[in-house]
Amino acid sequence: MKIIHNIDDMRKLVREYRDNKKSIGFVPTMGALHKGHMSLVESSKEDNDITVMSIYVNPTQFGPKEDLASYFRPIEQDKEMAQYYNVDVLFLPSDEIMYKTNETAFVTENTLSQILCGAYRPGHFQGVCTIVTKLLHIVSPHHIYLGQKDAQQLRILQKMVSELFFDVKVVPAQTIREDDGLACSSRNGYLHDEERLVAPSIYQSILLAKNAFEKGERRSEVLLSIVRSHLQKFPLVDVQYIEIVSWDNFEKIELIEKTTLLAVACFVGKTRLIDNIIFTP
């Protein structure tokens, strides 16, 4: 596995791959790698000759009161894991490389990013769009792999790539879960034992809604109340939002008639966890 720290070296390598007609798959991450990231690597390896992974904890997508300083950075363990999964190139840029001081150019999506997580994390999606733009300009991949656990991020980046004519195909990947259903996330590592035990209640609540949907329930209000009532049974779970919106434009809907997202964000103790399901009638 090649480890690259700067932009020129990364661009030179990519140019060589492209000159040799190699296809490039890209898995952007913030490290603290887990099974979810590795399933993205596996998809990339199936589709491409070369898989590039980046590990970069992007400061501009964290709010002032968020967990940037305490975000896990187990870099040696991450390198071993990337090597084990046969990542071809690991791109590890520093803050100095990714951001000059007093930058004024950012990439913004201004509709989908205003609701759900965006309503509680102002500036978050601008940070995500900006860093993914920078990374795409450096890595120039044919495919970028993004997990559906971050459904809003996925939709916003799909729109960004399409509307700004990025020459890359976004490949969505399904959410990978622990055995008890908890969606894999680097933030699961913050959960204390007791919190970890109740965290799967988020997915359980989603499954209850899924069950009702499969039996024919189409009213958002009813599905939302199923999720809410289940989560209310767990005092350690503090719901931030539960929403049902259309998959294409994230408008709130009352009756599910087309592809729809049910998204949940909760605090379990101090840790913010998200999960979701897509309903296709």
Q: 156-192 as b/e, with b when 16 or more CB fall inside 10 Å?
A: bbebbbeeeebebebbbbebbbbeeebbbbbebebbe
Least spacing, CB of residue 109 vs ligand PAF, in Å: 14
Q: Which residues bind ligand PAF (CB under 6 A)?
A: 28-30, 58, 61, 128, 131-132, 150, 153
Query: Rounded to the nearest whole angstrom, what is the least distance from the CB of residue 255 to ligand PAF in the complex?
Result: 31
Specify the residue, 55 or 277, whose C-beta has the smaller distance to ligand PAF: 55
- Written as six digits, the tokens of 273 are 């966890």
Q: Which C-beta is closer to ligand PAF: that of 116 or that of 231? A: 116
The residues carrying an active-site annotation are 37
28 Cβ contact list (under 8 Å, min separation 6): 53, 54, 56, 131, 132, 135, 144, 146
The C-alpha atoms of residue 139 and residue 239 are separated, in whole angstroms, by 38
The CB-of-215 to ligand PAF minimum distance in angstroms stands at: 34
Nearer to ligand PAF, 72 or 267 (CB): 72
Q: How many other C-beta atoms can be found within 10 angstroms of the C-beta atom of residue 272?
A: 19
Of 30 and 226, nearer to ligand PAF (C-beta) is 30
Non-local CB neighbours of 98 within 8 Å, separated by 6+ positions: 56, 58, 131, 134
Polymer length in residues for the chain? 281
Q: How far is the CB of 149 from ligand PAF (least distance, A)?
A: 9
